[in-house]
Amino acid sequence: MQKKVDIEDLNSIRSESNFKDYSHIKIGNNVQYLFLPRSMSDLVLIFDFASKNKLAIFPIGGGSNVLLGNVKNRVLFLDRKLPKICEINSDEVLVSANYNINSLILKLKKSNLGGLEFLATIPAHIGGIIKMNAGAFGKNISEYLKWIKVLNKKGEIEIIQKEKIEFSYRKSSIIDYILKAAFKLEIKSEEEIDSQINKFRRIREKTQPINFPNLGCIFKNPKGESAGKIIDECGLKGEKFGDAEISQKHANFIINKGNACFDDVKNLIKLIQAKVHAKTGIELELEITVLN
Ligand SMILES: Cc1cc2nc3c(=O)[nH]c(=O)nc-3n(C[C@H](O)[C@H](O)[C@H](O)COP(=O)(O)OP(=O)(O)OC[C@H]3O[C@@H](n4cnc5c(N)ncnc54)[C@H](O)[C@@H]3O)c2cc1C
């Protein structure tokens, strides 16, 4: 009979840190099960533990799009200590899901490969970017994707071709843990890539409150409209709960001005949704994932 994986078997990879240390908005509590796997065999143990105890698995990449409270009865793990790979072959790259997007853009540039510059400066990892179908300036990551290699809930490894995945605005049908991804890129000169990176960086610096911890856009844009503009027109810029504040620079960003906590951000989200609905009838849908 197969031995049941106990929490003691995972002690060496269990994180004792508060999730705040890993969250891009610097908010987080003590999560019940938070792991830092270093290898594929650590991952297998984590998946086994979750399966045997009937707990859902929630991977964390850059932590730039998740707001966590006191998460219980879920198995969370951070991908940052897993091995990183990036193999370039002609105009294609095979990259591990824990690769930071900015490091990838710079590495590809040295091989005269571009296309992903629209994501420059986002503090995210490739897995999170694919899962969220991240995009900006009219482009989405799915346009460059070829296939992904995943670890499914049964602990099996599978390759899923892009055509088998449904991608829409900030959404994908992926339910498994992405281990690696293959992309087809554009051949470009280093100068062209640098100029694109600088162009997008300048726009973000001008329009986003990047000097404060944040989670990017909190809400999805309603069809044909801008959530930031709607929130601004409802007069909500500068509204706050504790140290969480609706940015004066971009109304779809909530910033942490010091010691904001999970409830501060949740209260601000509820306030925005209620006021926008009362004034416009629009129901703003969250882009970030909130787990309490
Ligand atoms: C300053 C700033 C600017 C931003 N600008 C943009 C932008 O222009 N466009 C945009 O789309 N987003 C933007 N974002 C939001 C965010 O960066 C993206 O959603 C990004 O895709 C999240 O990646 P991550 O690695 O941080 O994922 P996380 O926040 O760690 O996780 C996000 C989701 O992906 C899942 N996930 C993570 N890794 C994996 C994996 N390997 N396999 C399966 N699922 C996984 C998580 O479980 C979670 O559901 C911005 C955020 C910030 C802070």
State how far the Cα of 96 lies from the Cα of 85, in Å rounded to an integer.
Answer: 5
- The class of domain 209-291 in CATH terms is alpha beta
Which CATH code fits 86-193?
A: 3.30.465.10
- Which of 24, 35, 47, 65 most suits a substitution to test ligand 1, by most atoms within 8 Å of the C-beta? 65
- Which of 23, 100, 102, 122 most suits a substitution to test ligand 1, by most atoms within 8 Å of the C-beta? 122
Domain assignments of the chain as residue spans, ordered by start: 7-78, 86-193, 209-291
State how far the Cα of 268 lies from the Cα of 257, in Å rounded to an integer.
Answer: 14
Third-level CATH fold of 7-78: 3.30.43
82-140 pLDDT, tens digit per residue, is: 999 999 999 999 999 999 999 999 999 999 999 999 999 999 999 999 999 999 999 99
Local structure of 178: helix, strand or coil = strand
Distance 62 CA to ligand 1 centre (A): 7
Q: 135 Cβ partners below 8 Å, 6+ apart? A: 118, 141, 169, 170
143-180 pLDDT, tens digit per residue, is: 999 999 999 988 899 999 999 999 999 999 999 999 99
DSSP per-residue string spanning 200-249: HHHHHHHHS-TTS-B-S-SBPPPTTS-HHHHHHHTT-TT-EETTEEE-SS
